[in-house]
């Protein structure tokens, strides 16, 4: 006979232990069981549905990466909520640091309107005319563009502090620089390969 005073694990704890052992069916069941919890925690941060989906995916990724570290399967739900909160907060912080690229006005007359400004710049970066135009910018403007293209994205506050310029002038300056680059590239003859 077994120990009468021993506490038997509940099915959810057994499910968590099975996931730790690599049982794929257990993972499917665990995700199905707890995704509404993850979703409701993400929604509590007032995120849009698409953003909640991102937070959910990141949360489950963290769970998969770290499930072996969970010492007490009975505490899975609170551990999951903590991970979800952290991922939601990180998502919000990344969103705040995201540097908006503004409208496409500086590149409106470039050939392919279905391509974003960033893709246009990246695609044309290999063009010697673009490199020459970039070199023609002041060091200050080169530094500003480099910081705007930095990965991970820097906030306008970080850029303002680093370059000693007002936060409110970053967007307008960026637009002027992009127009100057576009005009410079368009004035230079294309090199024939």
Same structural domain, 63 and 117? no
Same structural domain, 44 and 26? yes
Q: Give the relative orientation of helices 11-20 and 76-97 as an angle to the nearest 10 degrees.
A: 60
Lowest mean pLDDT among 77-81, 102-106, 177-181: 102-106
pLDDT at 112 > cutoff 60: no
Does some domain include residue 3?
Answer: no
Position 98 scores a pLDDT of: 53
The range of the structural domain enclosing residue 21 comes to 11-97
Does some domain include residue 57?
Answer: yes
pLDDT at 37 > cutoff 80: yes
Rounded to an integer, what distance in angstroms lies between the CA atom of residue 103 and that of residue 108?
9
The pTM assigned to this predicted structure is 0.48
The larger pLDDT score, comparing residue 105 to residue 23, is at: 23
Does some domain include residue 6?
Answer: no
Does some domain include residue 1?
Answer: no
Find the CATH number of the domain harbouring 86: 1.10.1740.10
Does some domain include residue 20?
Answer: yes
Position 190 scores a pLDDT of: 62
**Span 103-108, mean pLDDT?**
44
Number of domains in the chain: 2
Same structural domain, 17 and 70? yes
Q: 């007359």: which residue's tokens?
A: 109
Same structural domain, 114 and 170? yes
Query: DSSP labels for 127-138?
Result: SHHHHHHHHTS-
Selection from 6-10, 22-26, 99-103, 146-150 with the highest mean pLDDT: 22-26
Nearest to 162 by CA among 135, 134, 142, 143: 143
Same structural domain, 85 and 109? no
């Amino acid at each position: 006979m077994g120990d009468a005073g021993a506490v038997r694990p509940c099915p959810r704890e057994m499910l968590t232990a099975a996931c730790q052992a690599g049982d794929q069916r257990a993972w499917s069941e665990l995700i199905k069981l707890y995704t509404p919890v993850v979703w409701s925690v993400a929604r509590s941060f007032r995120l849009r549905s698409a953003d909640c989906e991102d937070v959910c995916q990141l949360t489950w990724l963290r769970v998969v990466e770290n499930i072996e570290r969970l010492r007490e399967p009975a505490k899975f739900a609170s551990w999951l909520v903590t991970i979800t909160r952290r991922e939601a907060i990180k998502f919000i912080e990344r969103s705040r640091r995201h540097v908006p690229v503004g409208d496409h006005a500086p590149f409106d007359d470039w050939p392919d309107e279905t391509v974003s400004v960033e893709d246009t710049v990246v695609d044309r970066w290999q063009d010697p005319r673009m490199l020459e135009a970039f070199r023609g910018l002041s060091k200050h403007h080169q530094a500003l563009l480099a910081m705007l293209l930095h990965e991970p994205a820097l906030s306008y506050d970080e850029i303002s502090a680093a370059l000693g310029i007002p936060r409110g002038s970053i967007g307008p300056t960026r637009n002027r620089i992009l127009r100057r680059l576009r005009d410079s590239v368009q004035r230079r003859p294309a090199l024939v390969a």
